[in-house]
Amino acid sequence: MTRKPDSAAVAAWISLARAHRVAMCDVEARLKAADLPPLAWYDVLWELEKAGECGLRPFALEKALLFEQYNLSRLIDRMHKAGLVERCSCPDDRRGQTLHVNDQGRALRQRMWDVYGLAIAEIVGDRLDAAEAERLATLLAKLG
């Protein structure tokens, strides 16, 4: 590689990585203190809830969450055993399945959101005004 990042790009990268790590550790600690599962559970429940009655095929959920297939399979197994997610036969593919969130899963996601939403309000909302938060969202969208 002959191209190297300039100092501004390196500083931005370090700040982005540090902010992400600090924020995620804070959110995970808050969830744990509230005796709630890890944030990945919230993400799965939210994607399935947004999908509505149609549910999602596992590959679509994997793509939406950017999880590795084997990690998602294990997580779905744990969530299914916990009674939060249902597996249904796929009408278009007898070998396939669709995943659905049930009432218990929706209730857990809401309890998690109460903690997660407060964390977002404190971690971001208390430190940035609305214009700064919008600008940050716009800048980060350019990276994703």
Task: Output the 3-class SS for 91-107.
Answer: CCEEEEEEEEECHHHHH
30-43 tens-digit pLDDT: 999 999 999 999 99
Asked if residue 34 lies in contact with residue 126, where contact means CB atoms within 8 angstroms, the answer is: no
pLDDT exceeds 70 at position 1: no
Q: Specify the pLDDT at position 96.
A: 85
47-87 tens-digit pLDDT: 999 999 999 999 999 999 977 778 899 999 999 999 999 99
98-128 tens-digit pLDDT: 999 999 999 999 999 999 999 999 999 999 9
**Domain boundary assignment for the chain:** 7-143
Q: Can you tell me which residue has the tokens 């599962």?
A: 37
Cβ-based neighbour number of residue 18 at 10 Å: 10
Amino acid in the structure at residue 71: N
Domain at 7-143: CATH code: 1.10.10.10
- Between 1 and 9, the more confident residue is 9
